[in-house]
Structure 1
């Protein structure tokens, strides 16, 4: 296939499909988009461990992302997962662009930096919000990109549009709607990702470089680990939280989030948890 900025020609599609457990043929259609979305979020966790362990870089080139997430069985944070997903969609033949959103959940602000990146896929004259990398609060399948669009089943979401023109993705919970992020569809390119990646890795205001942040979405349960607090979300029930001790924190990546850590990474994580 011809080269593109999304590097579809360089993705190992068979290895990716095996990693996420997707069976059957793929094509540039809505059933494939839905199937890939669900399989990806079920199999691949949000994982900030490289930043927590003090790695000097979190590479965003496709080869590095595939080595880490596909071959090593790690998770990845938003930008890594978008690089991988975009390459997969490009390889299959989807038409899409990327955009950036301003996270609202946990920040209490609508005006923070636009650090979250997702994709807008065009199919048969409609546009779909395709976001596999927001972690345990994010959608499990694409959401039609239109005012008042709604996704209803065990996990429900909707889109509202504010007077500013910004869309807001909301997670509909028993305790009330949770605003996840606001966004416009202004186009972002892979070169923009590098700036966001540097902020997430190095900036003192980054939420990802000073505590463990792991998240995973599965059909009947969602888990979020922030620092030592593990939150569990189940359909139609209020979220529950508990504190993990050091031993539980060391085993949580594998046991709860399905992240395969090398022995050296486990030891490095133990050192971080032991503190100075």
Structure 2
């Protein structure tokens, strides 16, 4: 099998499929793409904990990403998850490109840095936005990449295009549409991921290196822990918010997000939460 920049030949596909609970055959078709998307977001949470545990790097090579997300059962932030997902899709035989988006939800701005990455998959003359790493607000399956496309299910989404040409993915919530991120289809490469990864890990204005951010996108409920505030989102209902105490924050990775941390990591996280 010839390799590509997405390293499909290096992915342990069987181990990945076990990790996400995917059963049955895989093929480069829409049914597989949908099932992979749903299985991945159900199983693998958004996890920025390495940035808070004194780790000086978050490696993006496939070997390290597989070890963390597949073998250790951890989550990862969007760059790690896209590296893994791209390798899986490449191994199966999908054709796709990567893009970067400017997050709007929770930022209140259309002009922040383009830190979020996701994929556009080409199938039978159409393209599908395949985003497994946006967390609690993200889609549970691919959405057709077309003007005014909609994804209707327990959680619904649409795509709109602004006069500037920028595409916007929106989460259609009972309290009104939430703009998740804006993006163009300019192609991004793994080398671009390295630059974004360095920003996320080290920059003082990074949203990911100074407080806990954990997210999980399950079929009937979505959870987001940002700092000490836990957000819970259920179909057809306004989001609920709850302030957690220190003990609840320390237990949340395993109890809510399915992440098992080593005892030393829990102690380090406790010290980080306590502050200087």
List structure 1 segments (4+ residues) > 3 angstroms apart after TM superposition: none
**Following the alignment from structure 1 to structure 2, what is the Cα–Cα distance between the partners of residues 222 and 213?**
13
- TM superposition shift of 1:103: 0.5
- TM superposition shift of 1:265: 1.2
What secondary structure is seen at the aligned counterpart in 2 of 1:117? strand
Aligned to 1:240: 240
Aligned to 2:127: 127
Structure-2-length-normalised TM-score: 0.99
Structure 2 matches for 1:60-79, cutoff 5 A? 60-79=60-79
Aligned to 2:207: 207
Structure 2 matches for 1:83-94, cutoff 5 A? 83-94=83-94
**Following the alignment from structure 1 to structure 2, what is the Cα–Cα distance between the partners of residues 123 and 188?**
19
Give the unaligned 5+ runs of structure 1. Answer: none
**Following the alignment from structure 1 to structure 2, what is the Cα–Cα distance between the partners of residues 148 and 258?**
35
**Following the alignment from structure 2 to structure 1, what is the Cα–Cα distance between the partners of residues 17 and 146?**
29
Structure 2 matches for 1:189-208, cutoff 5 A? 189-208=189-208
Give the unaligned 5+ runs of structure 2. Answer: none
- TM superposition shift of 1:120: 0.3
- Superposition RMSD on alpha carbons, in Å? 0.6
Number of residues of Structure 1 aligned to a counterpart in Structure 2: 276
Alignment pair present for 1:8 and 2:33: no
**Following the alignment from structure 1 to structure 2, what is the Cα–Cα distance between the partners of residues 53 and 211?**
11
Alignment pair present for 1:262 and 2:262: yes
Deviations 1:128-179 (A, max 9, x none): 0000000010000000000000000110000000111111000000000000
- TM superposition shift of 1:54: 2.3
- TM superposition shift of 1:242: 0.6
- TM superposition shift of 1:274: 2.3
Aligned to 1:273: 273
Structure-1-length-normalised TM-score: 0.99
- TM superposition shift of 1:275: 2.1
